[in-house]
Amino acid sequence: MSNPVLLLLLSLPLLLFHTPLPVSAASSSSSSDSPTYLWPLPSKFSSGVETFSIDPTLSLSVSGNGGSSRIVKEGFDRYKSIIFKNSDVFSILSTFRKKRTLYDVVNLNVIVHSASEDLQLGVDESYSLAVGRSDNLSIMGEATIEAATVFGALRGLETFSQLCTFDYASKTVLIHNIPWNIQDEPRFKYRGLLLDTSRHYFPVDVIKHILESMTFAKLMNKHFLLRCHHILSYGKVHTQNGSAIQLRMPMKLSRINVMAEVDVPGHAESWGKGYPDLWPSSSCREPLDITKNFTFELISGILSDMRKIFPFELFHLGGDEVNTDCWTDTPHVKQWLQKRNMTNKEAYKYFVLKAQNIAISRGWTPVNWEETFNTFPESLNPKTVVHNWLGPGVCPKAVAKGFKCIFSNQGVWYLDHLDVPWYKVYNAEPLEGISDPSKQELVLGGEVCMWGETIDTSNVQQTIWPRAAAAAERLWSRKDATSGDSANTTALLRLQYFRCLLNGRGVQAAPVTNFYARNQPEGPGSCYDQ
Which residue of the set 142, 158, 212, 321 is catalytic? Answer: 321
Residues with Cβ within 8 Å of residue 54, at least 6 apart in sequence: 83, 103, 104, 105, 164, 172, 173, 174, 175
Q: How far apart are CA 423 and CA 361, in angstroms?
A: 42
* SS3 of residue 404 by DSSP: strand
| Residue pair 321/371 in contact by the 8 Å Cβ criterion | yes
**Local structure of residue 479 (DSSP, 8 states):** G
- Torsion, CA 454, CA 456, CA 458, CA 462, rounded to 10: 70
Cis, peptide link before residue 382, omega less than 30° from 0:
no
- Three-state SS for 178-199 is ECEEEEECCCCCEEEEEEECCC
Number of H helices, E strands in the chain: 19, 18
Phi, psi of 83 (to 5 degrees): -65, -40
For residue 275, the Cα-to-chain-centroid distance in whole angstroms is: 34
Listed in sequence order, the residues at least 6 apart from 489 whose beta carbon sits closer than 8 Å to its beta carbon are none
Q: For the chain, how far is it from start to end, CA to CA, in angstroms?
A: 36
Long-range own/partner contacts, residues 374-382 (CB < 8 A, 24 or more apart): 375/345, 375/348, 375/349, 376/345, 376/348, 376/349, 376/352, 377/401, 377/403, 379/349, 379/353, 380/352, 380/353, 380/356, 381/353, 381/356, 381/357
Cα–Cα distance for residue pair 434/445, rounded to 1 Å: 13
Q: Has 269 been annotated as catalytic?
A: no
Rounded to whole angstroms, how far apart are CA atoms 292 and 336?
10
Catalytic center residues:
321
